[in-house]
Amino acid sequence: MIIEKKISYIFIVSIFLFSLSRIQAQKKYWSLKECVDLSYEKNISIKQIELQLENANIEKSNAKANFFPNLNASLNHSWNYGLNQNITTGILENMTTQFSSMGLNMGVDIYKGLENIKRLHRANLSIIAEQYKIDDIKDDIGLLVANSYLQIMFNREILEVQKQQLEVSKKDLERTKALVDAGILVKGDLYDIEASLATQEQSLIQAENAYRLVKINLAQLLRIDDYENFEILNENFDVPFSNILDETPKAIFSKALIQRNDIKLSITNIEIAETDIELAKVRLQPSISAYYGYNSRVSYNDRLKQTGQFETVPIGYLSSSSEPVLTQIEKREVVGPISIIDQLSLNDGHNFGIQLSVPIFNRFVAKNNIKRSKVNLEAVKNQHEQTKLDLENTINQAFNNTVASYKFYEATIKTVSARKDAFDNAKNKFEAGVINSYDYAQIKQRYESAVSDKVRAKFDYIFKLKVLEFYFGLNIDI
């Protein structure tokens, strides 16, 4: 009986451990790089711009095709029903006739003011612009994912702090009970410690909920449905070392003008606007084109064919003797139509030539298009300057915020150290019965708040530092 119970116990434990291992195996621990890569893959805005990039590639294909000649073929078959002369009887009668015709036309541009070259250049610029759009939105999404990732790390560290503080509160409660039993402290002190423990448990629940919510936020950003099994890597993380604060905002701005994709996109848009002006000017230039055409036709009607035999027939009479005047006429017979191949050869025709077109007056359409393109160029240039100003202001703010957050983080370190000393001192006094539980709880609470502020300041500084490094052209990494 005892052996059977042991076997059942081992069997149940084995099933539990196997199930636990399966659950743990299903949980995916994501690194920042994996999260960023997945966001690039799943983001709808990126997919939309990628579709625009496909359209730009199609436009480039069209621009290349403009260098080739146009080639068109036509084929026509018709039925004619109505009053026609029967070639056999010579009588007019209602009858149906059929005809086929075919044609081949080709045209090629010889000169159009280099329009085809300019259109190809513009198509290439459009592809570059769409790629810069993709890279720019990837930069923004990467920062957003990094911020969400750091939020999880921050809340996880806050959760660990709350757990540690709860353990300290539990030990305080046990120690206080012992001191009360020993008569060193009164029972009222025990109530204060119990109230502090209850408050600490509430804070732990809030920290757990906040941690769960930030994980859900990142999972939703990555379009992951399985929230429960979504986790980021559990790594020891400290404040990273960076020389970026040794740079000046002006140096960071100068580097950003070279590295930032939104600046590259703005410059490319200026080049596109300049190309549009050149394309508009093309309409004022003459154009030369060449053309060639081929056509032929086929009839399916019967025809009269000479037989090679002659007969003598009168064509009149002599006035003097009334004798008939005779002549020989070759006999004909009704046969089918000539073969299609032979008819195509017999009935074909060719036309070719060169055409010159000179614009004289088109109701100012071409000139107004040039003016409109020039206005657009000025607007794009103004937008470029505004983009540079916005970038410079953003970098200045980011630099000042990073410096301030680092100083604030250093201040929190000093505060935690001071609060820790005060807490240790208060703890000794409380255990000796020198101070009451209320004063002890207040000092303990200030120390716990200082620790939370330090964690918050650390991650606030890290994110601002990463933003500043991003503008300097460094990869987003933690």
pLDDT mean across residues, the chain: 87
With cut-offs at 50, 70 and 90, classify the pLDDT of residue 287: very high
Task: Give me the pLDDT at residue 11, please.
Answer: 47
Give the pLDDT confidence score for residue 17 in this predicted structure.
47
Portion of the chain with pLDDT greater than 70, in percent: 92
Rounded average pLDDT over 373-389: 97
The rounded distance, in Å, linking the Cα atoms of 151 and 220 is: 14
340 has pLDDT over 90: no
Question: How buried is 173 (Cβ within 10 angstroms: 0-12 exposed, 13-18 middle, 19+ buried)?
Answer: middle
CATH code for the structural domain at 2-302+337-349+365-471: 1.20.1600.10
Q: Any bridge partners for residue 366, and if so which?
A: none
Mean pLDDT of 213-234: 90
pLDDT at 53 over 90: yes
| Cα-based angle 16, 17, 22 (whole degrees, multiple of 5) | 100
User: How large is the average pLDDT for residues 386-396?
Assistant: 96
pLDDT value of position 87: 62
Question: Whole-angstrom Cα distance, residue 316 to residue 325?
Answer: 5
pLDDT band at 450 (very low <50, low <70, confident <90, very high): very high
Q: Is the pLDDT of residue 20 over 50?
A: no
Q: What is the mean pLDDT of residues 275-299?
A: 93
Query: What is the reported pLDDT for 424?
Result: 92
The residues, any chain, with a CB within 8 Å of residue 455's CB and separated by 6 or more, are 154, 157, 158, 161
Residue 4 scores a pLDDT above 60: no
**What integer is the mean pLDDT of 427-452?**
87
pLDDT digits (tens, 9 = 90+) for 118-142: 999 999 999 999 999 999 999 999 9
Reported confidence tier of residue 3, pLDDT bands at 50, 70, 90: very low
CB 296 within 8 A of CB 76: no
pLDDT digits (tens, 9 = 90+) for 346-379: 889 999 999 999 999 888 999 999 999 999 999 9
Stated as kind and residue range, the H or E segment containing 111 is: strand 92-111
pLDDT of res. 236: 66
Mean pLDDT of 411-417: 95
Q: Is the pLDDT of residue 23 over 60?
A: no
CA–CA separation, 319 and 165 (whole Å):
147
- 95 vs 145 pLDDT, higher one: 145
pLDDT score of 241: 73
Specify the pLDDT at position 50. 94
Locate the domains of the chain by residue range.
2-302+337-349+365-471
| Residue 458 Cα distances to 160, 209, 217, angstroms | 15, 21, 21
The count of other CB atoms within 10 Å of the CB of residue 7 is: 10
Radius of gyration of the chain (CA): 46
Query: DSSP letter string over 245-278?
Result: GGS-HHHHHHHHHHH-HHHHHHHHHHHHHHHHHH
Q: Which two tokens stand for residue 260?
A: 């930032």
Residues in the chain: 478
Q: What's the predicted TM-score (pTM) here?
A: 0.79
pLDDT interval class at 25 (50, 70, 90): very low
Q: Quote the CA–CA distance of 395 and 401 in Å, as a whole number.
A: 10
How far is it, in rounded angstroms, from Cα 141 to Cα 46? 10
How much is the pLDDT for 478? 66
Structure tokens at 156: 């996880």
pLDDT tens readout for residues 228-284:
889 998 866 677 777 888 899 999 999 999 999 999 999 999 999 999 999 999 999
What is the Cα–Cα distance from 172 to 431, expressed in whole angstroms?
9
Q: Which tops the pLDDT comparison, 15 or 105?
A: 105
